[in-house]
């Protein structure tokens, strides 16, 4: 079977509010993305994933949608959305929208109607339940939540609505009520929403918190667990095992249904935001054949350690869980987590080595805007945050989260793109931008990076050229090399007769060792070399070699 395009692609994630502001209101917009398309094209990325820009009260900056088929005015118009799709395609690129299917905004007309009574036409579109102690009664003022489930942000996800004298369920925050996919009308309407955008030419979707889309039909209580905080490989936490509110069998089945909706339009990407053990998240892709979501994120690697040993083990485990015909995704940053540069001690040599790995390992790389220039997080106080999450945790001192390595205030990783050293980093010519621009913009920006031959930006561009040229890097099999010196990670990528080897030195010391390859396709450091079957790699350096 031919490898689908979305298994060979490279993804660049845009957070539209922070990419480029074309009309001086301090907010990035669709026109702004259009104006910067050549930049992404020249960098060499094929696919753009754009975080939501649909109608929304923006209580969770667009992840709270009030109309799936309208564009929020601050981002532009439908015409501009269509122009964006078209301009992306004209450059031979692909465009992926962010589909927040699990929940709407509390302001969505569907929810407004649903909450009015227990018998309106939309009454069953959301997840409504009675108190589990109805007989204690309102009269006594005693109410008990329908069950013990916790939301993904901690605390009960059940919220009381006096109109219906019932609770509605929110997996994330109280103003993001979950839709009820056990109602066929909901499923049909949302499938038609997917069709609506496919008809307009989008190449697929990133699926927001897709692992919570179905909940246990009987609403059984979750069992107790000693786990305090959810982790990437195990979403259980807040002292309970998340057994009945996520990763349900119905969600795996729905992944296949959604795939068949997409198949009506050809080969489309479905990239699931899911979390849990790899053997579980793999189920979203299909059983033995690729007939579910085409790709899922694997967030464990966001907590990577910078060592050859860590990455060797990571790749080995990933190869076990995502063998052909599946394809893993390699992602180190996004709009919810700390930028990877922090884990690298802001060392650009390390960032280049990580990019070498991400763009040559077997998998689809997904790069968050600004990573290519080493943009850093901007610490900001919780109490003035745009992001609703830190407001929930205002009573807990910040150092607690810092110690735990948690990004609670996601504003910190969403600051405006740093284009050049003019005011507001060239992001906007407004007086004030929606989030402050990082003070380091005169040092860290695209213009400056593009002029420095050995910048991270130019390194990534160079790597992308090699990747886009070598089919073995896009779809070849992977084999880890053994017998290499300590601190060196090496693997080969092979497709038919084409074979390349990638060698990465994770140690600060240079290394010299025997290696029989004929040609060097790429090296991170000018003084790395391969001569007479001897390979010399500088500290934190790496190479791509051809057999
Ligand atoms: C996902 C998004 C995040 C959003 C949440 C609720 O995790 O990545 O930004 O707040 O879902 O939609
Ligand atoms: Ca704007």
Q: What is the mean pLDDT of residues 140-165?
A: 88
Residue 15 in contact with ligand 1 by CB distance below 6 A: no
**Cα separations (Å) of 27 from 52, 75, 76, 414, 473?**
14, 8, 11, 12, 37
pLDDT digits (tens, 9 = 90+) for 388-439: 999 999 889 989 988 888 889 999 999 999 999 999 999 999 999 999 999 9
Residue 209 in contact with ligand 1 by CB distance below 6 A: yes
Q: What is the mean pLDDT of residues 452-476?
A: 98
Q: Is residue 85 scored above 70 in pLDDT?
A: yes
- CA of 335, closest atom in ligand 1: 9
User: Minimum-distance ligand to the CA of 60?
Assistant: 1
Give the per-residue pLDDT at 132. 82
pLDDT digits (tens, 9 = 90+) for 44-56: 999 999 999 999 9
Count of H-run helices and E-run strands, the chain: 16, 21
Q: What is the 476 CA–ligand 1 centroid distance (Å)?
A: 33
Residue 297 in contact with ligand 1 by CB distance below 6 A: no
Nearest CA to ligand 1 atom 7: 209
Element (H, E) at 529: strand 529-531
pLDDT digits (tens, 9 = 90+) for 179-207: 999 999 999 999 999 999 999 999 999 99
Give the per-residue pLDDT at 518. 81
- CA of 334, closest atom in ligand 1: 8
Nearest CA to ligand 1 atom 2: 208
Say how many CA atoms lie within 13 Å of 516 toward its Cβ: 0
Cα dihedral 375→380→384→387 (10° resolution): 50
Q: What is the 96 CA–ligand 2 centroid distance (Å)?
A: 21
- CA of 100, closest atom in ligand 1: 12
Phi, psi of 426, rounded to the nearest 5 degrees? 75, 5
Give residue 266's pLDDT band: very low, low, confident or very high (50, 70, 90).
Answer: very high
Give the per-residue pLDDT at 23. 98
- pTM beyond cutoff 0.85: yes
User: Minimum-distance ligand to the CA of 407?
Assistant: 1
- Which candidate, 455, 453, 405, 445, places its Cα nearest to that of 425? 445
Say how many CA atoms lie within 13 Å of 400 toward its Cβ: 9
Give the per-residue pLDDT at 272. 98
User: Minimum-distance ligand to the CA of 75?
Assistant: 2
- CA of 173, closest atom in ligand 1: 6
Q: DSSP letter string over 334-386? A: -TTS--HHHHTTT-HHHHHHHHHHHHHSSSEEEEETTGGGT-------STT-S
Give the per-residue pLDDT at 232. 83
Give the per-residue pLDDT at 231. 87
Question: Which domains, ranges and CATH numbers included, belong to the chain?
Answer: 109-169 (3.90.400.10), 184-233+243-297 (no CATH), 379-409 (no CATH), 477-546 (2.60.40.1180)
**Burial label, 338 (beta-carbon count in 10 A; 0-12, 13-18, 19+):** buried
Q: DSSP letter string over 240-306? A: B---SSSS-HHHHHHHHHHHHHHHTTSS-EEEE---S-HHHHGGGG-SSSS-S-SEE--GGGGG--S
Neighbours of 218 (CB within 10 A): 8
SS3 state at 318: helix
Q: Is residue 497 scored above 60 in pLDDT?
A: yes
Q: What is the 304 CA–ligand 2 centroid distance (Å)?
A: 35
Contact 70, 105 (CB under 8 A): no
- Active site residues per annotation: 208, 273
Q: What is the 21 CA–ligand 2 centroid distance (Å)?
A: 4
Probe target for ligand 1 pocket from 172, 299, 411, with the most ligand atoms within 8 Å of CB: 172
% of the chain surpassing 90 pLDDT: 91
Handedness of CA 307, 309, 312, 318 (dihedral sign): negative
Higher pLDDT, 547 or 260: 260
Radius of gyration in angstroms for the set of CA atoms belonging to the chain, rounded to a whole number = 24
Q: Is residue 141 scored above 60 in pLDDT?
A: no
Element (H, E) at 184: helix 184-199
Handedness of CA 480, 481, 485, 488 (dihedral sign): negative
């Amino acid at each position: 079977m031919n490898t689908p395009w979305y298994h060979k692609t490279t993804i660049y994630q845009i957070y539209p509010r922070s990419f480029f502001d074309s009309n001086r209101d301090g907010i990035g917009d669709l026109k702004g993305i259009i104006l910067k398309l050549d930049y992404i094209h020249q960098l060499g990325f094929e696919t753009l994933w754009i975080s939501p820009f649909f109608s929304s009260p923006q209580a969770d900056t667009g992840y709270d949608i009030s109309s799936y088929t309208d564009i929020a005015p601050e981002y532009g118009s439908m015409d501009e959305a269509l122009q964006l799709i078209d301009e992306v395609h004209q450059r031979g690129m692909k465009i992926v929208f962010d589909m927040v299917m699990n929940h709407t905004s509390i302001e969505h007309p569907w929810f407004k109607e649903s909450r009015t009574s227990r018998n309106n036409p939309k009454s069953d579109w959301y997840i409504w339940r009675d108190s589990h102690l109805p007989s204690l009664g309102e009269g006594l003022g005693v109410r008990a939540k329908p069950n013990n489930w916790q939301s993904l942000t901690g605390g009960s996800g059940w919220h009381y609505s006096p109109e219906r004298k019932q609770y509605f369920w929110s997996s994330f925050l109280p103003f993001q009520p979950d839709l009820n996919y056990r109602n066929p009308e909901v499923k049909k309407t949302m499938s038609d929403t997917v069709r609506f955008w496919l008809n307009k030419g989008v190449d697929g979707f990133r699926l927001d918190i897709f692992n919570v889309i179905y909940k246990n039909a009987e609403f059984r209580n979750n069992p107790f667990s000693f786990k305090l905080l959810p982790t990437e490989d195990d979403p259980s936490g807040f002292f309970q095992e998340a057994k009945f509110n996520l990763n349900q069998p119905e969600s795996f089945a729905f992944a296949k249904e959604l795939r068949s909706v997409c198949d009506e339009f050809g080969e489309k990407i479905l990239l699931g935001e899911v979390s849990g053990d790899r053997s579980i998240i793999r189920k979203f892709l299909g059983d033995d054949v690729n007939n579910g979501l085409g790709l899922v994120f694997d967030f464990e690697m966001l907590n990577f350690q910078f060592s050859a040993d860590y990455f060797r083990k990571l790749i080995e485990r990933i190869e076990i869980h995502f063998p052909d015909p599946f394809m893993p995704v390699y992602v180190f940053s996004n709009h919810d987590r700390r930028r990877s540069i922090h884990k690298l001690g802001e060392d650009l040599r390390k960032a280049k080595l990580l990019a070498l790995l991400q763009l040559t390992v077997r998998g689809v790389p997904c790069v968050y805007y600004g990573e290519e220039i080493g943009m850093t997080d901007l610490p900001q106080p919780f109490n003035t945050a745009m992001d609703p999450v830190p407001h929930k945790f205002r009573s807990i001192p910040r150092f607690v989260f810092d110690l735990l390595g948690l990004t609670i205030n996601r504003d910190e990783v969403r600051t405006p793109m740093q284009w050049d050293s003019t005011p507001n980093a060239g992001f906007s010519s407004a007086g004030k931008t929606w989030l402050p621009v990082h003070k380091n913009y005169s040092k860290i920006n695209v213009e400056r990076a593009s002029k420095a031959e050995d910048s991270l930006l130019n390194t990534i561009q160079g790597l992308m050229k090699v990747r886009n040229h070598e089919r073995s890097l896009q779809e070849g099999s992977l084999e880890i090399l053994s017998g290499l010196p300590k601190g060196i990670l090496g693997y080969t990528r092979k497709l038919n007769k084409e074979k390349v080897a990638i060698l990465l030195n994770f140690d600060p010391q240079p290394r010299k060792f025997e290696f029989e390859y004929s040609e060097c396709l790429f090296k991170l450091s000018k003084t790395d070399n391969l001569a007479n079957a001897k390979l010399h790699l500088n500290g934190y350096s790496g190479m791509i070699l051809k057999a």
